Amino acid sequence: MISKQLGIKLSALTLALILAGCGGGGSDGYYNNGGAGSGGNSSNPAEVQALNVTDFSLKDSNGEETETISALGAVATVKVSDGSGKPVSGAVVAFSGENMTFSTTNSSVLTNADGEASIGVTPTNANVTGPYKISATASFNNQSATQSKNISFVKTDILIDQFKAASTTLVSGGSTLLTLLVQDANGNYQNNQEVTFSASCGSFAHSSVISTSEGNISNTYYAYDASGNLCSGKQEITVTPSNSPASAQKVPVNVEAATATSVVYTSKAISIPVLGSGSSSSSQVEFTVYSNEKALPNQEVTLSLVQSPQGTSFVSLNNKANRIVKTDSNGKVLVNIYPGNIPGPVEISAMLSSGFTALSKDVTITTGRATQNSFSLSLSKNSLQNDMDGDKATLVARLADRNSNDVPDGTVVNFVAEGGKVGGACSTLNGQCSVEISTQNPRSADGRVTILAYVEGDKSYIDKNGDNTYTAGVDTLMKNIGSFFRDDNESLTYNNDIGEFKYDRIMTGTSVPCAASTFREPNIEGTCDNQLPAILRQQVIVYFADSTPTIQGLRASNSSLSFNLYGKNALTTPMPSGTSVTVAAEDATENNKSCSAELATGSNPVANIVVSSYYEYKLKDCAKGDSFKVTTTAPNGKVSNFYVNYS
């Protein structure tokens, strides 16, 4: 208990600070006494020609003169007088000093009838020690004066008293109120003092608290850490004064062991590539054990592989048996899944000793390496304007595994082209990726630009034993491929005389005959083996066509008008995609009939993907003497006309 003498000391200090904040002395002040002479010992404003600040004193909480300031604070007092030594009432005195907090909001007070001004001073930071200077500046009747005093800050050791927990036995995840008092060595309450809280396991409503009225501090302890992990067993709670670490105090609490109340599957949907896909050979799913919504560590969980495709194992490679594992510090169990060669759903059970069970969801084994018969190329348009740089088309590569599932994201497809410019590679997302092909030098003489795409993958095969795995000598390769080339002259045979791009692949197995080379899948005989891995390839033609057309076979007779329309006078390309083609009939006969032409075969405008240069128009009511005008308008605006008479 705090002594009666201590209570008197605190009351005296409190009264001193209150009086200091009011200007001290209890007088109504100069202005409230009607001006000079009202109090008999104050100077008239008109008479004050000089101002002096004297009698600068500092008193501690006992009212004793001191040169030091501790966390208990002190009262600073000065006297303001005029040039003749008479006290000046109502002067404004502003106090200042480093690391000092004063008892008025503006650090200023008024002098009383005796010319005295008093103010309370406390250290802003109670841990600061050493010599400093406090200053007082008096202002009155356009006069001012300043006086300073040397002081020292001394540290007050802070002690913890009556530290206790409202309850020392807690349920798992429970909480309790903590209370304590902050004092100095003499038993005086200490306000504005910081203390910090820590525990061997657990968390707090506030990690640090500042003492308030009469040194009181309260806080709440929770029997789980900041991450939500539950505590159990004996725990120690420590409170430490920030400026007196040696004065730390401890209180023990006992936390009952937590009981697992649920287990939850906490992974997102997972798709695992099959074995040998070229991607990661395993993946993980996660279960979390809770006790009243808090994660619970060190709990036994029985794991079972409920459903999976043939060849799948879990926990450890090749294991299919139930396993008992313990949750980690975050209450989690991570379960490894090792895929086999067959795709399909996976279901894993996690069971607690209490019988609570959770099942994995949305876990599947899928996605293998790209296969040759699932490799496709497509173009946004296939006939570009040769007589300009930068006409573009998008080339899309689409890949799938032997089960027609997407290949792993990030599968890289490479591209090389005979002319123009093509993006060198792209990386798949959801089984596809794209690059741009654009017109520029070099330009092939015939306007036909070969583009070759290739990617690591597997040959296509017939799985005769049904194990979804290629077995040499048992399963049959459908179309064996080896080294390949870019077929610039479309001869289906590698020709080094013209510098065709060639990709040599080293054989790793027994040499076997190759499939016949085709334009879409060029192949080099004598480079194939009996193994599954291969470099897959696909090839397409992009036309670099002129805007000036070449027309061949234009004729109009019987009931049709027909011609072939080319974008090269070598007759090797169609017109550029987007070229408009129209036929206008001129009826020059007087047979009371109107000759007309209607498109029957071909496209207007020229299709994005041109497959033929042949056009045919059906004629109606036409006779000899009628004529026709064929007009083409290229995408760049170039107009060309051709004429033919009906015969």
Task: Give the pLDDT mean for 471-499.
Answer: 95
List C-alpha distances in Å: 325 to 84, 209, 229, 296, 549: 93, 42, 18, 14, 76
Same domain assignment for residues 535 and 555? no
The edge-to-edge listing of strands for the beta sheet with 363-366 is: 270-273, 363-366, 344-345
Residue 386 dihedral angles phi and psi, to the nearest 5°: -75, -30
Residues 385-430 pLDDT 10s: 999 999 999 999 999 998 899 998 899 999 999 999 999 999 999 9
Same domain assignment for residues 37 and 103? yes
Same domain assignment for residues 105 and 46? yes
Q: In the prediction, which pLDDT does 241 show?
A: 92
Task: Give the pLDDT mean for 272-291.
Answer: 82
318: left (phi over 0), alpha (psi -120 to 50) or beta: left
Same domain assignment for residues 383 and 497? yes
Same domain assignment for residues 396 and 361? no
The last residue of a domain, from among 365, 393, 415: 365
Same domain assignment for residues 356 and 334? yes
Same domain assignment for residues 285 and 188? no
The last residue of a domain, from among 331, 365, 399: 365
Residues 217-252 pLDDT 10s: 999 999 998 887 788 899 999 999 987 888 999 999
CATH number for the domain spanning 292: value is: 2.60.40.10
The pTM for the full model equals 0.60
Same domain assignment for residues 398 and 529? yes
Same domain assignment for residues 186 and 113? no
Question: How far is the C-alpha of 399 from the C-alpha of 557, rounded, in Å?
Answer: 49
Same domain assignment for residues 534 and 628? no
Same domain assignment for residues 399 and 435? yes
Residues spanned by the domain of 327: 262-365
| Ordered alpha helix ranges (H), 237-393 | none
Same domain assignment for residues 50 and 144? yes
For residues 581 and 605, the answer to whether their CB atoms sit within 8 Å is yes
Higher pLDDT, 633 or 21: 633
Residues 170-186 pLDDT 10s: 988 899 999 999 998 88
The last residue of a domain, from among 526, 544, 562: 544
Number of domains in the chain: 5
